[in-house]
């Protein structure tokens, strides 16, 4: 399990960090790394709705790549403190 912390606060920066973690998961074997918890302490701290909307965008970006749920893809789970 990997626990990278991204202190970015903009959607663009978060998207880049997300893409980097997806790339790592795809390039490593399940034995080496099968789970990543990307921690975003500065993103949408007081706005759970905005966080949920952005989570939906991240999920949709995987589908055209064949990485969405139901394939050999990546399952995304999102948590917000509110």
What three-state secondary structure class fits 26? helix
d(CA 30, CA 23): 13
Residues 6-38: tens digit of each pLDDT = 999 999 999 999 999 888 888 877 677 778 889
d(CA 51, CA 27): 27
Instruction: With 0.95 as the threshold, say if the pTM is over it.
Output: no
């Amino acid at each position: 399990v990997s626990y990278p912390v991204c202190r970015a606060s903009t959607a663009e920066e978060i998207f880049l960090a997300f893409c980097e973690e997806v790339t790592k998961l795809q390039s490593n074997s399940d034995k080496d790394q099968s789970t990543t918890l990307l921690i975003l302490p500065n993103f949408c701290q007081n706005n759970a709705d905005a966080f949920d909307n952005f989570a939906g965008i991240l999920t949709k970006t995987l589908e055209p790549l064949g990485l969405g749920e139901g394939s050999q893809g990546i399952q995304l789970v999102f948590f917000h403190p509110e």
